[in-house]
Amino acid sequence: MRNSLFRNPKPWLMLFTGVLFAFFLVGCGEDSPAAYGAHTTLTTSGPVADSERFLYYIILIIATVIFVIVETVLIVSIIRFRSKPGMPNPRQNHGNLRVEVLWTVIPALILFVILGVTIQGLFQVSTVPAGKSITVEAVGHQWWWEFYYPEYNITTADSLHAPVNTVVNVKLYSNNVIHSFWIPALTGKTDDIPGHNNTKWFEANQTGVYYGECAEFCGAQHAHMAFNAVIDTQDNFNTWVTTQQQAAVVPAPGSLEAQGAKIFGNACTICHGIVGHGVPGSDTKYIKGYDDPSVACADPNKACLVGPNLTHFAQRNLIAGGVLIHNRDKCLNPDNLSDCNLAKWLANPQGIKPGNDMNVNLSPSDIKALVAYLESLN
């Protein structure tokens, strides 16, 4: 019989639906690995995300009240006024001015309230507060994030470092496709559009690591274009900057690290840069990496790096565009790299992140030496 499911809801069906919804909700609370940081728009830390969260809650509360009222009326009507065998047709109405005015005016008022708080929020996030600030250029590549600090002339990848309680002015660049910069707990999404340089700002009020990701479909590995924001005290940030400005450590001649440096010079320098490291006998082509990527990538005469600058690779907490955690402690014993993510990545980059630009064919002994070298770049 038609609609019999709704006339006589089966207890097992209601139970199944309830359990299914519970599973969906559990999915919302999933914790990210610690290296990635908090991945939530509800636990915010900073004026931009706070303002966005406020708007979210206002709309959620209004929508929930409306939902409960409408569903209550609906369910009561279905149960109380359901037709039974032999019942006559109900009395037919046409038009009710009072009801029609009410259901036009009330939603209009609600929408005006939402419009008001939205406009207020727009002004809040467009007003950059006065005080301490730094500038970071966030360059979207396929598929990783490059961060360049024009005030300090340093470049890094996968982790955006910034001091706490400081305005971070972000300039967004891309020379390929559209990406979108998003740190859920700190700031909403803004697109990186080729040829249209967007800007945005955010500020973090608590030190910690915050998850970030690309929020615009940008190709096969869009889902693997993560990064994080490492928010530090001003002192720790200054130390980080000073370290980043140093040239790379040159390995001792004859060491495993020196072997790795040589392999790096042969196999990796088409795409990657390491500042300040010249391997004897090789040219200096790969001693680069501190060029402003927004300029270098726009100018065909400049060397825009295809892959990240690795000058201080050992300090990074994510690798391969955020697809792997940099578990450095598992990479320090050259005779046992079975759990080292860097070794796994070097052995099979196309298996881990199909379609990325890294096409290498390295022997286990090459990988051993390369891991030793890269992990020495403190």
Nearest approach, Cβ of residue 308 and ligand CUA (Å): 15
* CA 140, chain centre distance (Å): 11
Number of residues this chain uses to bind ligand CUA (CB under 6 A): 9
Q: How far apart are CA 305 and CA 302, in angstroms?
A: 9
Angle, CA 125 vertex, CA 124 and CA 127 arms, to 5°: 70
Give whichever of 214 and 248 is closer to ligand CUA, judged by the CB atom: 214
Q: Could you list the beta-strand ranges (E) of the chain.
A: 133-141, 144-149, 154-157, 159-163, 167-174, 179-183, 187-192, 198-203, 208-214, 226-232, 318-319, 324-325
**Shortest Å, Cβ 323 to ligand CUA:** 13
Among 203, 216, 292, 375, binds ligand CUA (CB under 6 A): 216
Q: Report the nearest approach of ligand CUA to the CB of residue 221 (Å).
A: 8
Contact call for residues 352 and 323 (beta carbons, < 8 A) = yes
Instruction: Give the binding range for ligand CUA (CB under 6 A) out of 90-98, 210-218, 297-305, 322-330.
Output: 210-218
- In the set 161, 179, 224, 316, which binds ligand CUA (CB under 6 A)? 179
- When binding is defined by CB under 6 A, the residue of 157, 167, 214, 323 that contacts ligand CUA is 214
**Judged by CB under 6 A, does residue 160 bind ligand CUA?**
no
Q: Is 225 a binder of ligand CUA (CB under 6 A)? A: yes
Which is closer to ligand CUA, CB of 138 or CB of 256?
138
**Which of 171, 189, 222, 330 is close enough to bind ligand CUA by CB under 6 A?**
222
Q: Is residue 143 close enough to count as binding ligand CUA by CB under 6 A?
A: yes
Q: φ and ψ at 50, to 5 degrees?
A: -60, -45
Residue 320 sits in the site that holds ligand CUA (CB under 6 A):
no
CB atoms within 10 A of CB 376: 21
Interface region with ligand CUA, contact rule CB under 6 A, candidates 73-81, 148-156, 216-224, 262-270? 216-224
Mark the segment that binds ligand CUA (CB under 6 A) among 33-41, 53-61, 93-101, 215-223: 215-223
Q: How many residues in the chain?
A: 378
Cα separation, 64 vs 78, whole angstroms: 21
Interacting residues with ligand CUA between 284 and 313 (CB under 6 A): none
Task: Give the DSSP per-residue string, 256-296.
Answer: HHHHHHHHHHHHTTTT-B-TT---TTS-STT----S-HHHH
Q: Could you tell me which stretch among 146-154, 218-226, 279-287, 361-369 binds ligand CUA (CB under 6 A)?
A: 218-226
